[in-house]
Structure 1
Amino acid sequence: MNAPRFPNVTRRSLLLGTGALVVSFSLKDHAFAQEGELNVPAKPPEPVATGPKLPGSLADTPSLDAWIRIDADSSVTVYTGKAELGQGTKTSLRQIAAEELEVPPASINLITADTAITPDEGFTAGSQTVQNSGTAIRNAAAQVREILIQQASSKLQVPADQLKAQNGRIVGPDGKSIGYGEVVMTDMLHVDAQPKSKLKSPDAYEYIGKPFARVDIPAKVTGGPAYVQDMRLPGMLHARVVRPPSWFATLKDIDTASIKAMPGVVAVIRDGNFLAVAAEKEFQAVQAMRALTDLAEWEETPRLPNEQDLPAVLQKSESEQGVVAEAGGDFTGGITTFSAQFMRPYQMHASIGPSCSVAHLDNGTMTVWTHTQGVYPDRKAIAQMLGMPLDKVRCIHTEGSGCYGHNGADDAAGDAALIARALPGRPVKVQWMRDQEHLWEPYGPAMLTKVSASLDVSGKIVNWKYDLWSNTHSARPGSAGALLPGQLMASGFPPDKPVMNITPLGNGDRNAIPLYSIPNMRVLWHFVADMPVRVSSLRGLGAYANVFSIESFMDQLAKEAGADPVEFRLKHMEDPRARKVIATAVEAFNWSSDPMPEGRGRGFAFAKYKNHAAYLALAMEIDVDKETGKIRIPRIVSAVDCGEAVAPDNIRNQTEGGIIQSLSWTMYEEVNFDNTRIMSSDWSTYPILRFSAVPGTLDVHIVDNPGSPYLGVAEAAQGPTSAALANALANATGKRLYNLPFSPARVKATLGV
């Protein structure tokens, strides 16, 4: 990757010119409260005229020219504010646009998140890309197609209802045709989208639902330039940061003269507790970083709690209580009441590729290439940190080798920008080291949950109480205080104050409400504002721990009711799509309640992600070695309904990846710390699932619903996977584990070995 991917131009200058379907573009500033992932509530929207709501992200950016461009040569460019994070965005969005524009997907130039030229779609988070951006692009493309047909009608002198779009041309009944580029006119698409679009019928699809090779894969599997880590710009400097040894450490005076004299060193940058070095070559930067680390003296303060007592720490740290859901009110019914407590530790993103970013201050404009999940929020934070006008900072999403949540990508972008400000005119690349990624990324919050429920004489649940204790699940950028360099520099931007934010999209409370039919229910979030370690968004937010708890407890209740776990769930499930997904999974798995050989068990779990996204049911079979505590997984079968299946291969890829990631969390991952420092600094102290532990077979069955709305799918597997494993372990051993992860030591201790 030898140069910036896009010219240093504004959206308007890019689009100006004759013979193009778009000439201008405007974005309104709006709050970035998406997916319940910001600490501060969104500002109240300004009053607008009432009317039908535009579909998807068109509601925020209605102008058609924000999404589609067609040039005089008939070339098509599609814009999205979403980022490719490995979920196949660059392929699936092309398929969607191609379907309605009637052009081959490969012919479309797709431009992803860039603050200079793409719509502001907030964060790429919560499995919302196809659901929001895909919906916007599809409707915009359909309306563009109809505008092209109307324009061609006057040129061909043929009624519009006798014309059709085909392979980039408008074709008449007599075979005469005209290319898209021949009918374009200045400002033709500088109009707002309409609420209703003339969408193609599913039986006419050429691209949606069909297999297409992902466009981002070739470079990734051949070692080509695929990631921000691969960027090489002319005159680029290499930089490394020196982090404090612990969160509350303070840097004492340091003499950097010897470092500045090292070969290739261009500068040592110190700003408060922020310390970095820049050099001509990468290894020179590494050597200087190591020498600087040896020289630096820090004053540390022991302020971390006892990790062995996390449940009590969370409970006594409660600062606020919120009602997530409440129904009925009769909690005295039922003949028997059961209860349980579950615990999830702090967990890492543990990105395989440590975070990286490139920044360049040139002629007063700071350009940052970053793997952030939100280029607009990141731009705002960086501009505040540097004291620069917002329009003088540009953030361009560039893929990084690791993500799905708020990892170190935004911080690396802040590092690069702060160092580049001190070295104007030269691009600066900041690459984190492995221990820096492990020790300084924001972790997925620890969670404590308690659940109790009562059964009536027929074995049905009559009341349900659920309590969860958790930090906020987002400290994403939006302010300089969300960036590590912003917190460490002398100006000392404070982190945003965490606030409890209960929304339908969910935060720590995501999926805390069971989808089952229960007449009396109360769900409470006991909010923990004081965060002993740095936390933010990890894939799925609270859904992972909440589904783990709910679905584990459903199995316990089924056992008490003397019912098959699947039948017990169906007895409480009214949603027909949920029932179909459950039926698909258990049929493909060949589910039964027959006894299994000693040490072998089967488990099942279900959830509808956020209760309004993809449905996912999963069954697995496991073997447990009681002597070692190790778990082996011969097979997993899942079924998923995410509405209309745009890209079946991507759906399978994301579901398989989500299952494997969840298995890693569930069996291995836990952040360890003493009273001062994080101790999980590498792969030996923070083990993850290895290839040898991958399931023997993993089958994903897609329950397609052509013509129905898109439902987010990328994070649907996390919760059901953990619960199915817990249920299989209980089935295999007769003992249930309530605390994550299910490490060999914990399994052995539970079994009394």
Structure 2
Amino acid sequence: MSTRRSFLKQAGSITIGFSILGPIACTTDNKDLALAEMPQPLTDPERIDSWIRLLEDGRIQVITGKMELGQGLSTAILQVAAEELNTSFNQLSLQLAETGVTPDEGITAGSRSMETSAMSVRQAAACLRETFFGLVVEEYETSVDNLEIENGNVLVKGVALPFTEILKSKNIEKAVFEPKELYGKTRRAFVGHPMHRPDLEKMVRGEAFYVQDLRFPGMVHARVIRTPAYNAVLAEVPEAEVADMPGFVKLVRNGTFLAVVAEKEFQAVQLQRALGGKVTWEVGEPLEQPEDIKAFIKSLPQDSNTDEDRGAYEEVAEGAAITHKASYSKPYIMHAANGPSCAVALFEEGVLHIWCHSQGVYPLRETIAKMVDLPLEKVHIKGVPGSGCYGHNPADDVAGEAALIAKEIPGKHVRLQWMRNEEHAWEPYGTAMVMEHEAVLSENGKIKGWNYELWSDAHSTRPTSGDPANLLPGRFLEPSFGTPGQGWRGGAIRNAPPIYTTNAFRLTSHIFQGPLRVSALRSLGAYANVFSIECFMDELAEKAGQDPFTFRLRHLEDKRAISCLGRLKLNVSEVSPEKGQGLGIGFARYKNSAAYCAVAALVEVTDGNPVVKKMWAVIDAGECINPDGLKNQTEGGMIQSASWTLKEAVKWNDTHISSIDWQSYPILRFQEIPKVEVEVVDRPETPPLGAGEAAQGPAAAAVVNAIYNATGVRVRDLPVGRVN
């Protein structure tokens, strides 16, 4: 059971303030997203930083500072609240991240939302239940043993007392405490079971749901005139040539940042196209175009560090029976969101309001406030789901751009949506990496020592520090905020230490700054690190004369890891690859501290063309709140990883990115998606673990190892493309 200390560690400053309030917008219908009154800033976290509120109509509002990214977080959070309050979903509403309204929970990232936000909501809901029980016991002189809770009522010997009647128009202001019981651990009527996702109906029916769907009366539309290169400078703008075009409202310029505003969206697109070909630019030094990405990366200036060194590798390597080396690489890859980024902004009465799909509304507010030179309390950001994206895509950039434009047109809602070529060409990519392994084996086929060197750019330049340089428009303003420095080093070495036992292990990281804009992309360095480690494990198994399952199991001590991999072995035990087919596996524990995930892939190679026929996974993410949600996360991760592994790579020329559409940046098409089976290991006695990024690395290794087993060709450099 969580203690108050652990709860505070999860949630930061936390107190529940239960009060009777008017309804607060919690959907993305336009009527709910219209601004009635600017929420007041959080000045007293002991009262306002709350997780549960009782609404005026008797419904219960659940509050989270996290964002729904398509991962099903909204449903899971409602499940834990429903469980503790024994309340059906139609009695609950959810308030997503919004500055001044929800807790500041930083960034929705790192697969930590269930571990932190959902568990905070769980404990707050349990405290609410026990608080109501205490009030009823005192008022009606009864025992807690006589009480039950159901759908917004406390039941006393069959008599239903609504929450509103129990409160009698009073407020409850009470700090979170350690509840006597968590129904999520003892009853599990809601958690641990598949639950219907209400948001899916809106998506399927094409109803207004995403930020892209927002429409406001009198709203105008904007488009940005993009520079031809990262380092281009705006020289001359022939405004007179577009001022008389249909729908023209305003030309917004600040340094090299240039945008057009029109009455209708297509008019804005036409203005963007017309002006884009007539603007004069001064382009700086050309981008280097390496023929050999591995050699290029290793030639860049580096910040090298020994991140781990135990067991004296040179000593255990001396006189070893078997020594094996291998070098792997991955290219720059995109988020490649299906829906281009979008935001709406309104500057009214000195306050800047923004609707966007940012994964961190509070950090973004601080960054935008500095960029547009407004006091923090004069910027209000409401999170609205976008079309789904894992990692730092351009959601923050488009919000910053919309803010800059809206400040120039007070009183008007300004809608800015990127085009497909902009999304591909200007997003922050996942960095290219090089991974080099050397290991020594004993005569009985055990790993004695392992030396790992990796080369990587930073994996996160999110706007978390309040520095406008981390927003794309920040670099183009006058004066310029510059470009991000070296980002978070820790992302590069995520999952770099193998989970397997060795007598000695040394990890050396070489962090460079490459030519392309990069930031966090799903699983960060774990995708490349696990891919290379798990392919190397297959190579070591072959050197040791052992099958891949046996070799891995011999080097595992964690009982849950052994169980997860053992279940996968059982699940594929009857798979018999046909001619031209191969079965491969991969395994990891995400971050070496979160979910365990074992993946197998059946791949068929015909005339050099690899096709993933089927994939299997076993995932142990501790207590499972929603099995369907966890399966969906794992399935999506496996398919996304297969696409990265087989097809995806960012390309560029001497000025900028050249892979700006789905032809030049191919991804798996629907007809190429394999059949997928996922087994969920539910451990209700343990805490939930982050799972959204657990499958990517193991899936990549499983696909590549399967290709080797089908063809005898070792692929070490991604994407696979054709197998020769």
- Same fold, TM-score > 0.5, yes or no: yes
Other-structure match for 2:504: 520
Aligned to 1:295, the other structure's residue is in SS state: coil
Pairs within 5 Å for 1:314-713 = 314-333=297-316, 334-477=320-463, 478-499=466-487, 501-502=489-490, 507-528=491-512, 530-590=513-573, 596-625=577-606, 627=607, 629-695=608-674, 697-713=675-691
Out of 232, 236, 246, the residue aligned to residue 263 of structure 1 is 246
> Which residue identity is paired with 1:600?
Q
Other-structure match for 2:15: none
Identity of aligned residues (%): 43
CA distance in 1, matches of 2:626, 2:402: 36
Please tell me whether the aligned partners of residues 356 and 385 of structure 2 are also in contact (alpha carbons under 8 angstroms): yes
Please tell me whether the aligned partners of residues 460 and 488 of structure 2 are also in contact (alpha carbons under 8 angstroms): no
> Which residue identity is paired with 2:94?
L
1:327 shift after superposition: 2.1
Aligned to 1:535, the other structure's residue is in SS state: coil
Please tell me whether the aligned partners of residues 462 and 520 of structure 1 are also in contact (alpha carbons under 8 angstroms): yes
Please tell me whether the aligned partners of residues 501 and 556 of structure 2 are also in contact (alpha carbons under 8 angstroms): yes
CA distance in 2, matches of 1:141, 1:353: 35
- For 1:201-258, what per-residue CA distance to the aligned partner results, in whole angstroms no more than 9, with x for missing partners? 6451110011211121111111111111111111100111111011111111222012
1:64 shift after superposition: 8.6
Pairs within 5 Å for 1:161-180 = 161-172=145-156, 174-180=157-163
> Which residue identity is paired with 2:51?
W
Q: Closer, same or farther in 2 for the Cα pair 1:2/1:74, shift >3 Å?
A: closer
Aligned to 1:640, the other structure's residue is in SS state: strand
Pairs within 5 Å for 1:183-202 = 183-184=166-167, 188-195=171-178, 198-200=181-183, 202=185
CA distance in 2, matches of 1:657, 1:169: 39
> Which residue identity is paired with 2:160?
S
CA distance in 2, matches of 1:714, 1:680: 27
> Which residue identity is paired with 1:5?
L
1:402 shift after superposition: 3.6
Please tell me whether the aligned partners of residues 79 and 112 of structure 1 are also in contact (alpha carbons under 8 angstroms): yes
- For 1:649-677, what per-residue CA distance to the aligned partner results, in whole angstroms no more than 9, with x for missing partners? 11111111111111110011001112322
1:2 and 2:30 aligned: yes
Q: Closer, same or farther in 2 for the Cα pair 1:672/1:65, shift >3 Å?
A: closer
CA distance in 2, matches of 1:197, 1:241: 56
CA distance in 2, matches of 1:200, 1:211: 17
Q: Closer, same or farther in 2 for the Cα pair 1:330/1:196, shift >3 Å?
A: farther
1:542 shift after superposition: 0.4
Give the length in aligned residue pairs: 691
Aligned to 1:741, the other structure's residue is in SS state: coil
1:108 shift after superposition: 0.7
Q: TM-score under structure 1 normalisation?
A: 0.89
Q: Indicate the larger mover: 157-166 or 571-580.
A: 157-166
Please tell me whether the aligned partners of residues 461 and 488 of structure 2 are also in contact (alpha carbons under 8 angstroms): no
1:729 and 2:707 aligned: yes
1:221 and 2:204 aligned: yes
1:708 shift after superposition: 1.3
1:323 shift after superposition: 3.0
Q: Indicate the larger mover: 399-408 or 162-171.
A: 162-171
Q: Closer, same or farther in 2 for the Cα pair 1:195/1:607, shift >3 Å?
A: same
1:89 and 2:73 aligned: yes
- For 1:280-322, what per-residue CA distance to the aligned partner results, in whole angstroms no more than 9, with x for missing partners? 0111111111111011121222442233232222222243222
1:330 shift after superposition: 4.0
Runs of 4+ in 1 over 4 A off after TM superposition: 10-13, 62-65, 185-189
1:329 shift after superposition: 1.6
Q: Closer, same or farther in 2 for the Cα pair 1:229/1:714, shift >3 Å?
A: same
Aligned to 2:641, the other structure's residue is in SS state: helix
Please tell me whether the aligned partners of residues 307 and 672 of structure 1 are also in contact (alpha carbons under 8 angstroms): no
CA distance in 2, matches of 1:298, 1:4: 43
Aligned to 2:314, the other structure's residue is in SS state: coil
- For 1:147-195, what per-residue CA distance to the aligned partner results, in whole angstroms no more than 9, with x for missing partners? 11101112222133432323322223x3233111222377854333235
CA distance in 2, matches of 1:204, 1:694: 38
CA distance in 1, matches of 2:511, 2:574: 39
- For 1:22-68, what per-residue CA distance to the aligned partner results, in whole angstroms no more than 9, with x for missing partners? xx8734xxxxxxxxxxxxxxxxxxxxxxxxxxxxxxxxxx7696101
> Which residue identity is paired with 1:26?
D
Other-structure match for 2:6: none
Other-structure match for 1:58: none
Please tell me whether the aligned partners of residues 325 and 438 of structure 2 are also in contact (alpha carbons under 8 angstroms): yes
Please tell me whether the aligned partners of residues 340 and 553 of structure 1 are also in contact (alpha carbons under 8 angstroms): yes
- For 1:7-34, what per-residue CA distance to the aligned partner results, in whole angstroms no more than 9, with x for missing partners? 4445559xxxxxxxxxx8734xxxxxxx
CA distance in 1, matches of 2:56, 2:234: 59
1:4 shift after superposition: 5.3
Q: TM-score under structure 2 normalisation?
A: 0.92
CA distance in 1, matches of 2:184, 2:255: 60
CA distance in 2, matches of 1:599, 1:557: 23
CA distance in 2, matches of 1:623, 1:125: 35
Q: Indicate the larger mover: 719-728 or 179-188.
A: 179-188
1:74 shift after superposition: 2.7
Aligned to 1:343, the other structure's residue is in SS state: strand
Pairs within 5 Å for 1:225-264 = 225-264=208-247
CA distance in 2, matches of 1:72, 1:242: 47
Please tell me whether the aligned partners of residues 11 and 118 of structure 1 are also in contact (alpha carbons under 8 angstroms): no
1:312 and 2:298 aligned: no
CA distance in 1, matches of 2:223, 2:329: 37
Please tell me whether the aligned partners of residues 656 and 698 of structure 1 are also in contact (alpha carbons under 8 angstroms): yes
